Structures are given as C-alpha cells and as structure tokens.
Amino acid sequence: MTTDATDVTETTGAGEAVTEEAVASLSATAHPRLRELLGGLIRHLHDFVRETRLTQEEWEKAVGFLTATGQTCTDTRQEFILLSDVLGLSMLVETINGDRVPGATESTVLGPFHLTESPARQLGDDIDLVGGGRPCVVSGRVLSQDGTPLAGAVLDVWQADPEGYYDVQQPDVQPAGNGRGLFTADAEGRFWFRTCVPAPYPIPTDGPVGALLRATGRHPYRPAHIHFIAAADGHTPVTTHIFVAGSDYLDSDAVFAVKQSLVQEFAEIDDPALAREFGVPNPFRQARFDLVLERAS
Amino acid sequence: MTTDATDVTETTGAGEAVTEEAVASLSATAHPRLRELLGGLIRHLHDFVRETRLTQEEWEKAVGFLTATGQTCTDTRQEFILLSDVLGLSMLVETINGDRVPGATESTVLGPFHLTESPARQLGDDIDLVGGGRPCVVSGRVLSQDGTPLAGAVLDVWQADPEGYYDVQQPDVQPAGNGRGLFTADAEGRFWFRTCVPAPYPIPTDGPVGALLRATGRHPYRPAHIHFIAAADGHTPVTTHIFVAGSDYLDSDAVFAVKQSLVQEFAEIDDPALAREFGVPNPFRQARFDLVLERAS
C-alpha cells in the first residue's frame, strides 16, 4: 500500500485526534457525572502518554502490572487499594472530601484491611485476643462539633498485632476478629477498650505494589496506628487513624496518611488502682482522645 | 482532640502537599525513566482527582472496577488491553510510536486476542479451519521502504471467524489456531493464504469493559479486519490491521483503530482458472496489498 504526504501529516497530528474521538464517544452517557469523570480521565491519561511518549513496551508492562494487581486481590487482600495508597491517591481523595468544620476530627485513608466485619464488643473488652504486646487502654468520647456527647455513636476499630499483621493476613495464626471491634458509645458518648500498643509495620510487599516500592527505592513502613470509623445519627461518619506519638515513620508514611492532629500520646501510666479498674497489668499505656463528628448537612 | 485554625488551613491546601510528597518519594528510583513515568502518572491522576473532586464512593467504585477488570483476565482473555482499547489509549500509544517514513505501512492496535502462538503454515494454506464464510484469498508482498522485496519476512496473521469470535473465545467450538497463521514470505517477498472474509463483530461485552460501554451508550462493534504483525531482518516490525472496505463501523470503531491507509478492497473475483489455482470455489473475494517496513535505525 502507499501512503502519500497527506496521510503522513494526518498521522503526525493523530494523537490529539484519537483523544477527541475517545472523549466524543462518551456523548450518549446517561449520567452527566460519569461522562465528566471518564472524559477527564481520558484527557489526563492521554496527556500522560503524549508527554512521556510512552513506548509500546512500557504500555505492555503497565498492562501486565495492572493485571497482576487485580489478580493479587482476594476476599482478604485489596492490592488496588494498596496501589492507590502508595501513589498518594487514597490520601488525596480523603483530603479533598474531608474538608470539615474547625474542630472536627480529620479523616485519613481507609487502608486495604477493612475487609471483614468487626465483631460487636462491649465497652472495656480487649480486642487483643492473642497477647504478647504492651497492654494499653484506649478511651475518649464521641462528640458533635459543638461538644455535645453523641450517645450510641458506633466505633469500628481495627489494628495490626504487635508483629504488624492484621488478622486477615494470618488466618492460620490469628483468630478472626483479632485486633477488631465494633463498639457502641455509652449515654455520655464515652468509649473505652483494651488492646496492645500497635507497632509500625510494612504494608504487604509480596505483590506487585511491593515490587513497585522496591523499584522506586521506597521503604514499605507505616507509623504505628489504630484505625477508626466513627458514626452517629445525624452526623457525617469519619474514617481515620490515631497515630502513636513518637513512632518511627511518622514523617515518611508509605501511604502519606499522617495528619498532625491525629497523632496522640500513648502515655505510660503507673497506677495500680486504675490498672485494676481497667483490668490490665500495671504499668500500662493509655491513649485518651475525643472523636468529633460534623453534623450532616 | 482539637484542631485549631492553623491545622484547618493546612488541610485546605493539603491536596497539593500530598501530590508533592508522593512525587518526592520517587527520589531514590534507580531508573530515571521509571521515575519520569511514575512522577508524570502521579501528577496527572492527582490533577484528575482534584479537578473532578472525586468522591470516596466514586473512588471505591473505581477500585472495584479495576479489580474486576484484573480478575476477568485469563490466559485467553485480556480485559485490561480491552479497557485501554476502548479509552483510546492503545491507539494513542500506537500512534505516537508509529511515526514511520512516508510509504511505510501504518500501525494500529494489537488488540486483546494475540494471546496464543499462531501455528506455522505454508504459503497458500487456508487459515479458516471451519468453513461457512465467504472464501477469500489474501496476497501481496512484504517490501522495504525503498521497494526492495523482503525475502523470508514473517507474517503473523489472526482474525475472527465469520460469527465474530476468535478461537480463544470458543475453545469448545473452534479448533485451536483457527483464523491464525505464521507465514514466511517467499524469495520475492510474496505472501498468499486462504481464509474467509472477516465480519464486523462486537468486542467482548460480558465483563467490566462491556458494562462501561453500556453505561456510556457506546456500541461495542469493530469494523471487519484481519490482524497482521509483519517482521523482517533489519526492519522495524509493524503491528497492524487490514480493514475491509465498505464494512460497517469504519467510522465508529469501538477501539478507535481505523486508519484510512489500512482500508483495502476485498474484491469479488469471477475467474475459474484463478480460483482453481488458489484452490477456492469460484467466485471468490481477493484482497491484494503490500506491507512496507521501515529500515531499523
């Protein structure tokens, strides 16, 4: 076949033409928001390809990487959330959607381990079903933005064990529900439970995201934290962490999720009477903080 | 916990901060090109999230969609290539990398069905192992950019059956290798083989990409075509299609892969002697074109 000079000119400018064709193909989209999202995604991905002059081989590697990421996901592992996390996307989504009234608890990422339903527990229960860590009491109140206690607020809590593993990562070692609990605040909005002090730990590195971290010379560690989702009638739920003050990696979290307002002291308490009251050995650690919810608009 | 005015200000501007943190985390990347690609990808994806103010729920849907896309992939199905195709990304990558000298055959997308090795066949063989379509002879020459015939050039050919299915989509119906062949051009660079005239067909719509097409009101059809990868010593291989002139959907290909120079007549031939020579019933269709490769630099 022959290609004359006119065809060559068309080819040179064809990058933009493909983009316009792809965006125009969305014109019959029923939901305007879906059309907006896909149109924006197409434009940004096409600009990325043009700016970097992505090669065929690099495109093939990207397809292989995304395929492996999807196929690493199971009922108990979410590698795409992990990928979103290490690219800072999860934290960005949290940030732009977490613009709360002054005083309300800031949000941070969900993370990839909120995969099972937390077992309902009573206030004061120990969510550490295994032991071996430093005993700790976590307590505080769930409040509305004006300081009103939120009776009956629900707290979904999950954390890794002292070795840095969540129950779903070690079904043969940890009992299901270890490190997890669904608590209901009392009539004064108070919550308290026992656990062990969490430790910093690496995000899972045995999958495609781990390979990405190695290729980019990044460590996989997260500073020590406990996850919370706090919800109450008439209020916007907040998904957040409480970070342990003084933990390593607070300034280089692998998933960029640290906010200074979420860092709390896990103070050493030497008070035999209080220890007896909480049912923990003396001395113990205690973290006390309030979770403040924004009224739903 | 309390959040003072300073914290709130930080939160409001935090979107950009997360982006800069994520890009800065790549500073120890060993390969400069990987750093460039990931940095560009992070900036574009973050800009996309900021511009559209992507919600948490939309992010969750995206994670679910990508996970399902990965899990739809098998040894014989590549849903991520299909996704890249329907977003125009595959064609854009082809276009920016396919900037060839005037006269060289233009490239187009690989598509998701180049998953098995094509069986080696002799010139003149019939790649239609089932029958039932309109018999067709495809012939031409593989040439270098200056018109020199490329003896021993290798052609990898694949196409769908007359119902629009590739062999790998119907392992129980079509014999493996139906519609596929690996041909070696003769001493004058000539190739010829028998097949059936391909038909337009829908890309697979029973997976996440099909759901995306339905949500955007797009049809899934591709105009009729035969895939080729042509390769010869000292030349840049070309991945392309030959489209059937007059086919439906030439102006609305679901994967944006049509280039006018790749549209060829599949002419009706009424010539009993020629039919006998090719071993096809008379009348038959014939497509004749040359594939012109660029010298490797």
Prediction ipTM score: 0.84
**Is B180 part of any domain?**
yes
Question: Is the same domain home to A121 and A183?
Answer: yes
- β strands within chain B, DSSP E: 135-144, 154-158, 180-184, 190-196, 201-202, 221-222, 225-231, 235-236, 238-244, 263-264, 267-269, 284-288, 291-295
Question: Is the same domain home to A87 and A195?
Answer: yes
**Is A165 part of any domain?**
yes
Question: Is the same domain home to B98 and B9?
Answer: no
**Interatomic CA distance for residues A139 and A148, integer angstroms:** 17
Beta bridge partners of B190: B141
**Interatomic CA distance for residues A59 and B262, integer angstroms:** 23
Backbone angles phi, psi at A92, to 5 degrees: -65, -45
Domains contained in chain B, number:
2
pLDDT for A297 equals 81
To which residue do tokens 């990562």 refer?
A169
**Interatomic CA distance for residues A60 and B111, integer angstroms:** 12
Backbone angles phi, psi at B185, to 5 degrees: -65, 155
pLDDT for B12 equals 39
Residue that wins the pLDDT comparison between B139 and B3: B139
Task: Look over chain B and give the mean of its residue pLDDT values, rounded to a whole number.
Answer: 92
Q: Are strands B284-288 and B267-269 parallel, antiparallel or unpaired?
A: antiparallel
Evaluate if residue B260 carries a pLDDT over 60. yes
Over the stretch A72-87, which tens digit does the pLDDT of each residue have? 999 889 999 999 999 9
Which residues does chain B have within 8 Å of residue A50's beta carbon, measured at their own beta carbons? 92, 96
Taking the CA of residue B221 and the nearest CA in chain A, the distance in Å comes to 13
Alpha-carbon Rg for chain A in angstroms: 24
**Is A97 part of any domain?**
yes
Closest chain A residue to B104 measured between Cα atoms?
Answer: A3
Closest chain A residue to B287 measured between Cα atoms?
Answer: A1
Mean pLDDT of B41-65: 97
**Interatomic CA distance for residues A49 and A44, integer angstroms:** 9
**Interatomic CA distance for residues B138 and B58, integer angstroms:** 48
Evaluate if residue A3 carries a pLDDT over 70. no
Task: Judge: A89–B50 Cβ closer than 8 Å, yes or no.
Answer: no
Closest chain A residue to B77 measured between Cα atoms?
Answer: A67
CB pairs under 8 A between A and B: 252
Task: Judge: A40–B52 Cβ closer than 8 Å, yes or no.
Answer: yes
Question: Is the same domain home to B100 and B44?
Answer: no
Backbone angles phi, psi at B85, to 5 degrees: -65, -50
Question: Is the same domain home to A42 and A88?
Answer: no
Question: Is the same domain home to B101 and B49?
Answer: no
Region of residue B131 (phi > 0: left; psi between -120 and 50: alpha; otherwise: beta): left
Taking the CA of residue A78 and the nearest CA in chain B, the distance in Å comes to 8
Which residues does chain A have within 8 Å of residue B4's beta carbon, measured at their own beta carbons? 102
pLDDT for B99 equals 72
B3, A106 Cβ separation under 8 angstroms = yes
Closest by CA position to A195, among listed A279, A106, A105: A279
**Interatomic CA distance for residues B63 and B32, integer angstroms:** 29
User: Which residue of B47, B93, B103 is in closest CB contact with A3?
Assistant: B103
* Straight-line distance from the first to the last Cα atom of chain B, in angstroms, rounded to the nearest whole number: 65
B185, B141 Cβ separation under 8 angstroms = yes
**Considering only A1-15, B65-79, B162-176, which range has the smallest mean pLDDT?**
A1-15
- β strands within A187-237, DSSP E: 190-196, 201-202, 221-222, 225-231, 235-236
Question: Is the same domain home to B159 and B32?
Answer: no
Which residues does chain B have within 8 Å of residue A25's beta carbon, measured at their own beta carbons? 88, 216, 218, 256
The secondary structure element, H or E, covering residue A65 is helix A56-72
Question: Is the same domain home to A41 and A154?
Answer: no
pLDDT grade for B163, boundaries at 50, 70 and 90: confident
B56, A109 Cβ separation under 8 angstroms = no
Evaluate if residue A4 carries a pLDDT over 70. no
Closest chain B residue to A239 measured between Cα atoms?
Answer: B56
Task: Judge: A105–B18 Cβ closer than 8 Å, yes or no.
Answer: no
Taking the CA of residue A269 and the nearest CA in chain B, the distance in Å comes to 20
pLDDT grade for A6, boundaries at 50, 70 and 90: very low
Taking the CA of residue B113 and the nearest CA in chain A, the distance in Å comes to 14
Evaluate if residue B11 carries a pLDDT over 50. no
Task: Judge: A89–B46 Cβ closer than 8 Å, yes or no.
Answer: yes
Q: Are strands A238-244 and A263-264 parallel, antiparallel or unpaired?
A: parallel
Taking the CA of residue A5 and the nearest CA in chain B, the distance in Å comes to 7
pLDDT for A238 equals 94
Taking the CA of residue B236 and the nearest CA in chain A, the distance in Å comes to 13
Over the stretch A16-65, which tens digit does the pLDDT of each residue have? 999 999 999 999 999 999 999 999 999 999 999 999 999 999 999 999 99
**Is A60 part of any domain?**
no
Task: Choose, out of A4, A20, A95, A238, the residue to mutate when testing the contact with B (most B CBs < 10 Å).
Answer: A95
Evaluate if residue A10 carries a pLDDT over 50. no
Task: Judge: B45–A98 Cβ closer than 8 Å, yes or no.
Answer: no
- Per-residue burial over B11-31, b if 16 or more Cβ lie within 10 Å, else e, is beebbebbbebbbebbeebee
**Is B59 part of any domain?**
no
Over the stretch B243-257, which tens digit does the pLDDT of each residue have? 999 999 999 999 999
Which residues does chain B have within 8 Å of residue A78's beta carbon, measured at their own beta carbons? 63, 67
pLDDT for B191 equals 98
pLDDT for A1 equals 43
Task: Judge: A51–B40 Cβ closer than 8 Å, yes or no.
Answer: yes
Question: Is the same domain home to A168 and A23?
Answer: no
Per-residue tokens: B95: 């276009």
**Is A109 part of any domain?**
yes
Task: Judge: A11–B99 Cβ closer than 8 Å, yes or no.
Answer: yes
Q: What's the domain range around B282?
A: 83-295
A232, A142 Cβ separation under 8 angstroms = yes
Question: Is the same domain home to B280 and B193?
Answer: yes
**Considering only A193-207, B15-29, B106-120, B197-211, which range has the smallest mean pLDDT?**
B106-120
Evaluate if residue B297 carries a pLDDT over 90. no
Q: Which amino acid is at B286?
A: Q
Q: Are strands A238-244 and A225-231 parallel, antiparallel or unpaired?
A: antiparallel
Task: Judge: A22–B88 Cβ closer than 8 Å, yes or no.
Answer: yes
pLDDT for B7 equals 41
pLDDT grade for A14, boundaries at 50, 70 and 90: low
Question: Is the same domain home to A130 and A187?
Answer: yes
The secondary structure element, H or E, covering residue A143 is strand A135-144
Backbone angles phi, psi at B25, to 5 degrees: -65, -10
User: Which residue of A11, A49, A68 is in closest CB contact with B106?
Assistant: A11
Taking the CA of residue B41 and the nearest CA in chain A, the distance in Å comes to 6
pLDDT for B6 equals 40
Question: Is the same domain home to B110 and B216?
Answer: yes
Percentage of residues in chain A with pLDDT exceeding 70?
95
User: Which residue of A12, A73, A84 is in closest CB contact with B99?
Assistant: A12
**Is B269 part of any domain?**
yes
Taking the CA of residue B117 and the nearest CA in chain A, the distance in Å comes to 17
**Considering only A181-185, A219-223, B169-173, B212-216, which range has the smallest mean pLDDT?**
B169-173
Reported residue count of chain A is: 297
Evaluate if residue A291 carries a pLDDT over 90. yes
Task: Judge: B21–A45 Cβ closer than 8 Å, yes or no.
Answer: no
Beta bridge partners of B192: B139
> CA torsion angle for A25, A27, A33, A38 (degrees, to 10)?
10
Evaluate if residue A8 carries a pLDDT over 70. no
- Residues in CB range of A44: below 8 A, 6 or more apart: B44, B45, B47, B48
Over the stretch A101-152, which tens digit does the pLDDT of each residue have? 889 999 998 887 887 789 999 999 999 999 888 999 999 999 999 999 999 9
Which residues does chain B have within 8 Å of residue A255's beta carbon, measured at their own beta carbons? none
Over the stretch A197-238, which tens digit does the pLDDT of each residue have? 999 999 999 999 999 999 999 999 999 999 999 999 999 999
Which residues does chain A have within 8 Å of residue B106's beta carbon, measured at their own beta carbons? 3, 7, 11
Over the stretch A145-177, which tens digit does the pLDDT of each residue have? 999 999 999 999 999 998 889 998 899 999 999
**Is A126 part of any domain?**
yes
Q: Which amino acid is at B99?
A: D
Task: Judge: B45–A215 Cβ closer than 8 Å, yes or no.
Answer: no
